[in-house]
Structure 1
Amino acid sequence: MTRVPLTLACGDYDRTWPLADGRVRPEGIDLNLITLEPEECFWRMLGNAEFDAAEMSLSSYAIAHARGDDRFVGVPVFLSRSFRHSTLYVRKDSDITDARDLAGKRIGVPEYQMTAAVWARALLHHDFDVDTTGIVWCTGGLEEPGRVERQALELPDWVRIEHVGNTLSQALLDGSIDALMAPRVPSVFRSGDQVRRLWPDYAAREVEYYTRTGIFPIMHMLVVRADVDRAHPWVARSLYKAFTEAKRFALSGAADKPALRYTMPFLLDALERQQEVFGADPWPYGLDANRTALDTFAGYLAEQGLVAAPPDMTELFAPATRADSRI
């Protein structure tokens, strides 16, 4: 049987390494895996549909789909997940000490529509009762000027957005923004001199959030070009199975070595604490296992003016991937 050649772009993760090194081969597919930073991956796929399949921002895809963009079909493989309590930064000399102090402030964020920002704004509003409609969202590049929204937005008048000319890191230092919401750790924090996290105890807050809500926020998913899906309707399911197997390799191999596999001195302790909180699989794939997080996110998209009404998240995914077979 001739294997279908397929080029797939995604980030460099332990859960994708078995696909990159050939330990896992998707059924019927000759996979060419290209490793890119997520921002480049999203930009190129959303703008030009350059790849047969790619990692994609959950919010970008959901917004595009809600507006009738039918170029892609989703696969319930969630390549990136992250809590957002660690991503809020202020200057060390700021009088902002609590989330409620952010009401009415100017907060930097690379893009208003990015998934991390949607989850973080929802955290401020729902967990800390912050009126986020009074915040001015200042967008731009975290470390490089000139970043813009990766797709055009149609927002209600109450959403207040300004674009900054320099970098968000510099804007925080010079006081043109009051706080920064950054999915990457900003350079001005790494230097350790002038910037602090709003919540230094973010890890404990994240455990409390997960214990209370059952949600480990989804950031990125997998999409396949719709023309590929039409030509080969089995490809989405084949990729889903392969990524699931690759994740199994990552989870089983993290601690099962005579020497530490990762450069983390307290790896075993972290893995054992992780299992206490999440159980055997902290990173579930599949629609059913993630329905609460997906439906919650759909509500946040509408609440923040990014879509007119909460989208039916089931419709984002290829029909072949919406349920698993049973023996």
Structure 2
Amino acid sequence: MVLKLSFACWDYDRMKAIEDGRVKPEGIDLTFLNYRVEETFFRQLKFHEFDVSELSLSSYVLTLNQENPPFIAIPVFPSRFFRHQNMYINTNSGITKPQDLQGKRIGIPEYQMTASVWQRGIMEEDFGVPITSVQFFTGAIEPSDRPRTSKVAHSYPPGVSVTAIPAGKNLSQMLADGEIDAIFSATKPSSFHTHDHVTNLFPNFKEVEAEYYARTSIFPIMHVIAIKRSVYEKDPWLAKVLQKAFARSMEMAWEPIEQRAALRYMLPWLDDHVTETRRLMGGKERYWVDGFQENKHVLEKFLEYSYKQGLAKRRFKPEELFAPSCLEDYVV
């Protein structure tokens, strides 16, 4: 009997072979639902709508705080991102270096969102800016009819200042107007394009991120693939089968990136970009790699930050995040 499952995920290049059916998980009829991440996260975390879905790494870790966690993950990471480039400042605030953020007002969409966890952790560990030394303001980056609220319940640690912005306000305009001094986010505020005094905290973010990777070997994980626990407990074999299918889909995504007879993507210097990326990331042929062992150090660092920032109730071990059958990286 074939197991019918729904799978909500954005149509990343590494998921295309799953979406179009070139890769079919053995024994599973997987219905691919192409939703943007905000919709997937909201519907899954609030209503548990999908059998399998992409989830925010931070939100998933927060669900493990619950007495009966609703999801269990596999070590497949559809989104990764260096986040130094998504720190923005108002130059009129007197910020010329990261250390100048101490005592400043920083806008973040949600305290618990994965990008912000990484950014706060990096600021404290690498630049000596403790989370207790700034004031955080939460809310929508751009104008919105609805206030931005956390998708997963959590508390704030002692000494950390977090204030929701008033209705009708948005962080992008507040940064331009000087009502806040910086934004840590996953997206670029529109005021970056309309106001000369809104710019990157790290103008040379590419070099900063390359140095960060050379020093830490961390390519920050943003999202994870999670299975509804009730589905997994009924058929635990599906975790490894899905991991294998996602590995095959990832392998097929590399071919168009490496194709040079004709350009698959509208990037005239794609070959140079790929060559440079491999050089900056230690000459690795495959710089985007799923699996547990290859990513254990990345997960350990994120879990350290999550706990220190008052989100995870205890410092989870990376092994606790995933189905046991997926802890070994053999997926052929």
TM-score normalised according to structure 1 size: 0.96
Q: 1:62 to 1:42 in 2, by over 3 A?
A: same
User: Counterpart in 2 of 1:300?
Assistant: 305
Return the match for 1:202 from 186, 200, 205: 205
Q: Determine if the alignment matches structure 1 residue 289 to structure 2 residue 300.
A: no
Q: Deviations for 1:98-153, whole angstroms, at most 9, x for unmatched residues? A: 10110111100000001100100011111111122121110011114411111121
Q: List alignment gaps of at least 5 residues for structure 2.
A: none
- Match runs of 1:236-275 below 5 Å: 236-275=239-278
In the TM superposition, residue 257 of structure 1 has moved relative to its aligned partner by 4.0
- Assess if the C-alpha contact under 8 Å between 1:74 and 1:317 holds in 2: yes
How far, CA to CA, are the matches of 2:256 and 2:241 in structure 1?
A: 23
Secondary structure of the structure 2 residue equivalent to 1:93: helix
Q: Equivalent residue of 1:196, what SS?
A: strand
AA paired with 1:123? Answer: I
Aligned counterpart, 1:321? 326
**Residue type matched to 1:242 in 2?**
A
Verify the 8 A CA contact 1:102 1:130 in the aligned structure 2.
yes
- CA drift of 1:5 comes to 1.1
Counterpart residue number, 1:154: 155
Cα gap change, 1:7/1:178 in structure 2, threshold over 3 Å: closer, same or farther? same
Mean CA deviation greater in 280-289 or 74-83: 280-289
Cα distance in 2, alignment partners of residues 138 and 237 from structure 1: 41
Are the aligned partners of 2:62 and 2:152 in contact in 1 as well (CA < 8 Å)?
A: no
Letter in 2 for 1:157: P
The answer to whether the Cα contact below 8 Å between 1:294 and 1:313 also exists between their aligned partners in 2 is: yes
The CA distance in 1 between the partners of 2:252 and 2:149, in whole Å, is 37
Report deviation, 1:323.
Answer: 1.2
Superposed displacement of residue 192, structure 1: 5.6
Query: Distance in 2 between the 1:68 and 1:83 partners?
Result: 33
Q: Structure 1 stretches of 5 or more lacking a match?
A: none
* Divergent runs of 4+, >4 A: none
CA separation of 1:192 and 1:171: change in aligned 2, threshold 3 A:
closer
Give the number of aligned pairs.
326
Give the CA deviation at 1:243.
0.9
Q: Quote how far apart the aligned CAs of 1:234 are.
A: 1.4
How big is the alpha-carbon RMSD for the aligned residues of Structure 1 and Structure 2? 1.5
Instruction: Name the structure 1 match of 2:5.
Output: 6
- For residues 71-90 of structure 1, what are the structure 2 equivalents within 5 Å? 71-90=70-89
Shift of the 42–293 alpha-carbon distance from structure 1 to 2, 3 Å rule, reads same
Q: How does 1:215-226 map to 2 (within 5 A)?
A: 215-226=218-229
TM-score, structure 2 normalization: 0.94
- TM-superposed CA distance for 1:69, in Å, is 4.0
Deviation at residue 12 of structure 1 after TM alignment: 2.2
251-260 or 138-147, larger mean C-alpha shift: 251-260
Deviation at 1:326, TM superposition (A): 8.2
* Partner Cα distance (1:249, 1:192) in 2: 42
What is the percent sequence identity of the aligned residues?
40
Question: Does the alignment pair 1:180 with 2:179?
Answer: no
Checking the alignment, whether the CA contact within 8 Å between 2:293 and 2:329 is kept in structure 1 is: no
User: Cα distance, 1:8 vs. partner?
Assistant: 0.5
